[in-house]
Amino acid sequence: MSQVSKPDRLRQPEARSATAPLIEVHNASRTFKLGSEMVYAVRNVNLNIYRRSFVTLVGRSGSGKTTLLNLLAGLDHPSEGQVMFNGRDIADFNESDMIQMRRNRIGVVFQSFALLPLLSAYENVELPLRIAGVAARERTRRTEEVLDMVGLSRRAKHRPYELSGGEQQRISIARAVAIQPDIILADEPTGELDSVNASNIFGLFQQMSRERDMTIVATTHDRTLLDLADEIYEISDGVLTQRAGVGRDPETMFRRPV
Ligand SMILES: Nc1ncnc2c1ncn2[C@@H]1O[C@H](COP(=O)(O)OP(=O)(O)OP(=O)(O)O)[C@@H](O)[C@H]1O
Ligand SMILES: [Mg+2]
């Protein structure tokens, strides 16, 4: 079981409706100054991410996907506007809120995988569970379960350099799933995968959102994967537009059978 020594302030306010968005983005922009030029990586974005939804974000290279995901994860802050997590502005989070959020609430799958090179695949998945204080037996159970989910039980002892790019990518997904976060933010999680593995991973995300109450936001270039998502957003030059929202109504989402 996950042991959090202090009360988890990120679950507050208690009375917050289960249908309220988990993440709200209000008029957020992120600019970078390059010499005398101002680059708008994200421009005036408004977005609600509802609990238990599977949201995809498509866009060409350089359109702002990673920048937006970093804002949602609290890894970066908007130059203008706000990002709220569970009703609180992330800008107001203190250090311990941030630590708690990263350990327990948000699982990030980085575009570059960010695996630790000296640890085995198994150890890479298990480490965040150790940090979160999960007991040994439960750590083993979860680590074995998620490695099996991504089809890599037989590669558990391999170090990252002994794995293919797609296998490393699947380990980084397993690592994010293992902590059983409220939300997984996955940046191009299928970028290195063949079409079968890519649709398996998106199928896994769909299953996680429906059966385990997780919220998933995944970016992709691959339009063939979009059908599995509840909501599809497109980003172009930092501007976000909604393309489809199958299960968009939060009431419907909440009542979805589990
Ligand atoms: N730290 C930075 N400094 C300056 N410009 C940046 C920085 N980070 C991103 N940008 C610019 O912001 C824009 C969006 O970048 P971002 O990485 O979000 O795109 P992306 O959609 O994730 O692209 P890709 O599909 O190639 O990963 C790009 O034009 C990029 O050059
Ligand atoms: Mg990117």
Q: Pick the closest to residue 217 from 243, 249, 258, 182 (CA basis).
A: 182
CA distance 69 to 67: 6
Mean pLDDT by 10 residues, the chain (258 residues): 50 64 96 93 96 93 95 96 95 91 90 94 97 96 96 96 94 95 94 90 91 92 85 95 63 41
Question: Between the CA of residue 103 and those of 60, 73, 160, 183, 220, what are the distances in Å?
Answer: 31, 12, 22, 12, 25
CATH 3.40.50.300 assigned to 20-113+181-255:
yes
pLDDT in tens, 201-232: 999 999 989 988 899 999 988 888 888 899 99
Question: Residue 49: its pLDDT value, please?
Answer: 95
Question: Residue 103: its pLDDT value, please?
Answer: 83
Tokens read off for 230? 């509840």
Distance 90 CA to ligand 1 centre (A): 22
Cβ–ligand 1 contact at 61 (below 6 Å): yes
Counting atoms of ligand 1 from 1, which one is nearest the CA of 70? 18
Domain boundary assignment for the chain: 20-113+181-255
Question: Residue 226: its pLDDT value, please?
Answer: 86
Segments in the chain forming alpha helices (H): 65-72, 95-100, 121-131, 136-149, 165-178, 195-211, 250-255
Question: Residue 256: its pLDDT value, please?
Answer: 39
Q: Which of 30, 37, 38, 39 to mutate to test the pocket of ligand 1 (most atoms within 8 A of CB)?
A: 39
**Residue closest by Cα to atom 3 of ligand 1:** 32
**Residue closest by Cα to atom 1 of ligand 1:** 32
Counting atoms of ligand 1 from 1, which one is nearest the CA of 64? 18
Question: Residue 102: its pLDDT value, please?
Answer: 85
CA distance 214 to 109: 14
Question: pTM of the entire structure?
Answer: 0.88
**Residue closest by Cα to atom 12 of ligand 1:** 41
Cβ–ligand 1 contact at 15 (below 6 Å): no
